[in-house]
A and B are shown apart, each in its own frame.
Chain A
């Protein structure tokens, strides 16, 4: 009961907002703090890329191709002499934002569809789930390609295409959770005090079912970063020569044996991002569960 503050003379404790409580809880978790710091750092790098990057990420220099990491080019240079460090710094802009936006799009739509299906049940559930079955029956990459070619390439369309692919999975996850919770007695109690369906879903079912979604969503950001890169590789995502992390990886794939650093540094950037979001996701899950409070 550590967060119940008892004021002088037995006064009633102050109400604290749920958000403040979660943030406080999160700040006690060292790993989660590391995750948050890494994410903030990456975000800052992305925002202030022009100030930080030592070179123009698009500027070719044929006199300095395939340089190993050295004082002049900390991460070395690629096949046309572009500075890899600068390209990774600028790449953070595209990679992070595709990942985060695709996640948000997929989660918001998934929550909406999944909670309607789970709570309504019956025919509504049946129809929604069969449509999702069709979406999930298509191979993910194929769906992505079809959508992206329908919408056309580019940043925003890639985000939408990736998000649509994620709706089915998220909806299924939230539907299962809601079906489990909706027969609980506290939901019956809500009925008996005349709570509207909207209120039951928003105030009771979602808060009690959202943790697995938050965890899976924060972990999926890493996947979207990689997926976004695959899209740019086949020419449907962010267009070259835009320095996107996945694009950097695929550009370097032919030189992996002779110049492994070209693969290593963008790979590390992706790995660190995935790690950071996973740490945050784990921390959030613990912080959001009042039962795990110390």
Chain B
């Protein structure tokens, strides 16, 4: 077991809104080991993107600790923060808005190298070429503008920019959900290949269960800012315990025509993330809910490495 690259303890991110505190990320704890991928799944608005952005300091956290390679990076001064940020990068969901429309491919990939001030001009030229080869963008497109590229190529540019400074940890914020299905596989395979070559550690945010199954080692299921279940990817698909995870997994379309899966349809609306009640946040939609569910829930390890936040997990599991 190698040392964790990223460790998060009790991370919280609240946004203040006119109606109260919005609990986007509430008490999230996990580790990711070197070269591994943590998949984070959940429906839109559950705080999975905010979690990624808070870890890499694009948002300021409300509370909690973040460790990078064992070093506490939760409260850094400006200079150290810059160094830490270089080691953590992000690949965005929408390659149409994450590239500056007035910058060429070359300028976009070059920028992190210029800003870091670690390289001479000749070294940067060389690195840009190497990065373009690495992510598979034709050299002839070096001076092209983003609107001249298709979604897959744009996303490759975004990946090249993220990898320019040789990060340790990359947040992939739904990197394929804006792409055509045919291109999704290319980009996913590229991400896997890069992970193996560079020993990258990924946090892979998505709402697509089949994608997360393909790419993750471990999976976190998030609901309204909280991790409701966390375990190895295989274990999660084989033995989901939390009622929300079960409902989520039953939504994966089956390819077996004789044996269509029984969908569990959730009723009710997602409850408001603003000033949530102390109990289980899923209780309002959960068919197993009892009075005990409205008490604060603790995370329980029901099997080695399998964590669930549900007081009834033994009865219903």
Contacts and interface: CB of A to CB of B under 8 A. Distances in A.
A188 interface: yes
Contacts of A12: 129, 139-140, 142
Given A189-B90, A207-B102, A4 B97 contact: no
Interface residues of A, number: 31
B165 A193 contact: yes
A190 B99 CA distance: 10
11 contacts: A10-B139, A12-B139, A12-B140, A13-B143, A185-B92, A188-B53, A188-B58, A188-B92, A193-B86, A194-B112, A196-B115
B140 A4 contact: yes
A185 B143 contact: no
A193 B111 contact: yes
Interface string B100-120: 111100100001100110000
B115 A199 contact: yes
Contact of A192 (B58, B100, B144): B58
B188 to A, nearest CB: 20
Given A1-B148, A208-B100, A192 B89 contact: yes
Interface string B136-156: 000111111101100000000
A208 B90 contact: no
Nearest to B129: A12
B251 to A, nearest CB: 28
Interface in A1-34: 1, 3-4, 6, 10-16
A134 interface: no
Interface residues of B, number: 39
B82 interface: yes
A206 to B, nearest CB: 10
A4 B56 contact: no
Contacts of A15: 106, 143
Residue among A191, A192, A195 facing the most chain B CB atoms (10 A cut-off): A192
Contacts of B145: 290-291, 293
Given A185-B92, A186-B97, A208-B100, A192 B85 contact: yes
A189 B115 contact: no
A13 B58 contact: no
A189 B92 contact: yes
Given A6-B140, A186-B97, A290 B102 contact: yes
B98 interface: yes
A121 to B, nearest CB: 15
A139 to B, nearest CB: 36
Given A6-B140, A15-B143, A291-B147, A189 B98 contact: yes
A269 B92 CA distance: 53
